[in-house]
Amino acid sequence: MSDRLEEVTLESGISVKPVYRPQDLAGTDPDLDIGLPGEYPFTRGIHPLMYRARPYTMRQYAGFGTPEETNQRFKFLIEQGQTALNVAFDLPTQMGLDSSDPLAEGEVGRVGMAVDTLADMEVAFAGIPIDRISVSLTVNAVAAPIMAMYFVVAENYGVPLAEVRGTAQNDILKEYIGRGAWIFPVEPAVRLIGDTIEYCCRNAPKYYPVSVCGYHIRESGANPVQEIAYAFCIAREYIRGGIKRGLAVDEFAERISFNFDIHGNLFEQVAKFRAARRLWARIMRQEFAAQEPGSLKLKMIAGGGGSGLTIEQPENNIVRGAYYALISALSGAQTMALCSYDEAYTIPTEKAALISLRTMQILVEEMGLRDTVDPLAGSYYVEWLTSQLEDRILQELRRVDSSWGGILRAVERGLVQQEVAGQAWQHEVGIQRGTIPKVGVNRYRMQEELRQVELHPYRPEQAEASVRRTARVKAERDPERVEAALRGLRQAAADGTNVMPAALEAVRAYATLGEMTGVLREVFGVFKEPVAL
């Protein structure tokens, strides 16, 4: 081998050889480790025919200021062929604050739709065929009350709870690591997740109550190994919670899905997902004695991540998005989404969101990615890398358990946060020094003119409209019923019974999200963030 060749080391710390040969697969058993699509350990995909039978679901994140505008964008996306919806809520909603709360000032409707009461959700979903379109709610700390609102919308549509489909993000542990929309301390927050899992398992069996997010952990600076390892630690925590409530693992594990991130090295990402599927199946079988194939299968949305995109030469992000979509398709994702090319500047414009959707559609329609399952299987490099990544993910997972005392403690004490922030800093140093190549940033940089980007200006009248609607709702609701419902919620929160029935009653009584969250805050307190850097 020529000594002029530079070392190649992936983000995961794995060194890549210039050439791979059959003997590199000596440690990989073709039957036990690779197997067939749709069969344990699902390295090649969770369905026997994958996209040949059904293409991936395309689900762009959308949600605008008012429920009316959100409703219009939903209808537009459905008309354009999008097969599922992903709802963005504004920050006050994500933090359990009503639009009239002083802390919500300047934020109402800014990054998504404002929801105070059931009335807002009724407007947002008016005329949307929620019996056919699966809706994903991007909400975490207040997932229980928001999920309750969605269930009541379905109920009023005449869709029985047992038939309601969709997902809630509802992964609070990752909020403490990245994204930051937490309210309550770790333990009660995780207990709320358990309440939703238990409630859905018994009453809404077609609903996916939790989507465990490696995505935001990686967006916060984690490498691909940590992304999967921390997400798995979090998922194991929720599964243990379900088991503690007396549920059998095979009753609910099938309904826990994952949300992962795509940016960086193409082969490393594809191998990451193949390794993740295999390791998850092994964990479910070995650690939780799961039997049902549904419990063993890692179902995922794998989406193009924003942190791979650049402010510089933003049109290049369209190309990056296309590669991310390709990675997602080569990885066997069930659902795909892309950050849009203007996302470094703003909430995607309609044009940018449409380009993302078309990118995914072009892959499905024109590029042959549906023709055969897991086309990279058997590649010496990809199979070798898959095995390497599986080993490293498992090592990292064990480190969380043994050195940090598990993910709950690690999050409470800020250890994961510190690790991830340190890496984010190192990554940024690498980009600024040019050791991590980034086209348009540290390679092929150009003098760029000040760009006129179509922005979404903040409209205070949105906040006023939201406040007015809620005031009207409050004037018309039955105050005694609200009072009793909030008492019931407080009681359930305090004595440890499942909060979901009480939350549903509060929603039906048109209690506000702020009122419900306020009750929970009184009982649970708030998280004290460890801010050590």
Partner 1 sequence: MADNPIRVLIAKPGLDGHDRGAKVVALALRQAGFEVIYSGLHRTVEEIVQAAAQEDVAVLGLSVLSGAHLPIAQKLMGRLRQLGFQPVVLFGGNIPRADIEALGALGVEGVFPTGSRFDDIASFIRQRVGTESAAAGRDRRR
- Considering the rule CB under 8 A, would residue 109 count as an interface residue with partner 1? no
Nearer Cβ to partner 1 (5/531): 531
Residue 178 as a binder of partner 1 (CB under 8 A): the answer is yes
Report which of 144, 145, 148, 180 is spatially closest to residue 164, judged by C-alpha positions.
148
Give the 3-state secondary structure of residue 152.
helix
Task: CB nearer to partner 1: give 93 or 295.
Answer: 93
Supply the minimum distance, in Å, between the C-beta of residue 220 and partner 1.
5
175 binds partner 1 (CB under 8 A): yes
Stretch that binds partner 1, among 98-106, 115-123, 333-341, 485-493 (CB under 8 A): 98-106
Is residue 310 within the footprint of partner 1 (CB under 8 A)? yes
Residue from 437, 458, 471, 478 in contact with partner 1 (CB under 8 A): 458
Interaction between residue 146 and partner 1 (CB under 8 A): no
Task: Give yes or no for residue 461 binding partner 1 (CB under 8 A).
Answer: no
CA–CA distance, 155 with 150 (Å, rounded to integer): 9
Q: How far is the CB of 311 from partner 1 (least distance, A)?
A: 5
| Binding segment (CB under 8 A) for partner 1, from list 162-170, 190-198, 325-333, 424-432 | 424-432
Quote the distance between the C-alpha of residue 427 and its chain's center. 23
219 is an interface residue for partner 1 by CB under 8 A: yes
Residue 392 found at the interface with partner 1 (CB under 8 A): no
In angstroms, the Cα distances linking 479 to 98, 119, 484 are 17, 16, 9
Residue that the structure tokens 């992000």 belong to: 317
Answer yes or no whether residue 103 interacts with partner 1 by CB under 8 A: yes
Q: Which is nearer to partner 1, 201 or 416 (CB)?
A: 416
Q: How many CB atoms lie within 10 A of CB 335?
A: 23
Q: Which of residues 64-93 bind partner 1 (CB under 8 A)?
A: 91-92
Angle at 352 between CA 346 and CA 358, to 5 degrees: 150
Count the Cβ atoms, other than its own, within 10 Å of residue 4. 5
Cβ 421 to partner 1, closest distance in Å?
4
| Strand partners of residue 211 | 257
Q: How far is CA 97 from the centre of its chain?
A: 22
List 289, 367, 455, 494, residue binding partner 1 (CB under 8 A): 455
Q: b/e per residue, 75-111, with b = 16+ CB within 10 A?
A: eebbeeebebbbbbbbbbbbbbbbbbbeebeebbbbb
Q: Which is nearer to partner 1, 104 or 115 (CB)?
A: 104
180 binds partner 1 (CB under 8 A): yes
| Burial group, residue 475, by CB count within 10 angstroms (0-12, 13-18, 19+) | exposed
Q: Counting contacts by CB under 8 A, is residue 444 touching partner 1?
A: no
Residues with Cβ within 8 Å of 382's Cβ and at least 6 positions away in sequence, in order, are 267, 270, 271, 274, 376
Residues in contact with partner 1 by the rule CB under 8 A: 91-92, 94-95, 97, 103-107, 110-111, 175, 178-182, 219-221, 307, 310-312, 344-347, 421-422, 424-425, 428-429, 432, 441, 450-453, 455-456, 458, 529, 531, 533
